[in-house]
Amino acid sequence: MYTDKVMEHFMHPRNVGTIPDADGVGEVGNPVCGDMMTFYIKVKDGRLEDVKFQTFGCGAAIAVSSLVSEMAKGKTLDEAMKITNQQVAEELGGLPPHKMHCSNLGADALHKAIENYLEKQNRQRPEGGGEEKKSQDKEAHFHCPFCDYTLPENAQLCGHCQIRLIRCEHCGEYNREKDETCRHCGAGLV
């Protein structure tokens, strides 16, 4: 079911743990849907000096988190913000289709940790600021949260991975139609 690379990361995940004095913390998912990832970052001179994670979830979720932490370490915030879930899945040699929808949220968790750091900096953004750029991106076009396919505004179905989508009324993020709670902010979905 899984590629050798997924199994290797599952067996020997990199950067597991917490950072007690982290500069930013980001969490996605919730235990109810089976996957939850928490990322901790340390930032120095605009780069991710350290990245650690904890994951509750399946083999894919653990491998995804591990790879994201590896990819992100040492990168500038901007570079790290550009890591996509799709890249992570490709880097792992692919994930089973049904795992694309729940377990492949590592990049989102990392981005949330970076956003959390930026917020703490009183919204002082580095030049060409990551968060600002991302929000501009979001205004320009929408992406499927599971496969990163570009979606028209208010799409109800991803034309690429065929997952039915619903937007969270609270935070505006896309979720699976079947989800009961938002995987990004935990709000109830209608």
The minimum distance between CB 142 and another protein, in angstroms, equals 23
* Residues at the site binding another protein, with contacts judged by CB under 8 A: 2, 7, 10-11, 13, 16-18, 27, 30-38, 53-62, 98-99, 101-103, 178
C-alpha to C-alpha distance for 103 and 95, rounded to whole angstroms: 9
CB atoms within 10 A of CB 36: 19
Active site amino acids: 33, 102
Burial of 136 (0-12, 13-18, 19+ CB in 10 A): exposed
Which of 10/149 has CB closer to another protein?
Answer: 10
CA atoms within 13 A on the CB side of 1: 7
Which of 6/71 has CB closer to another protein?
Answer: 6
Which of 48/61 has CB closer to another protein?
Answer: 61
AA letter at 119: E
The minimum distance between CB 129 and another protein, in angstroms, equals 28
Q: What pairs with residue 53 in β-bridges?
A: 16, 39
The minimum distance between CB 16 and another protein, in angstroms, equals 5
AA letter at 78: D
C-alpha to C-alpha distance for 6 and 91, rounded to whole angstroms: 9
The minimum distance between CB 25 and another protein, in angstroms, equals 10
Which of 30/85 has CB closer to another protein?
Answer: 30
DSSP 8-state secondary structure symbol assigned to residue 125: P
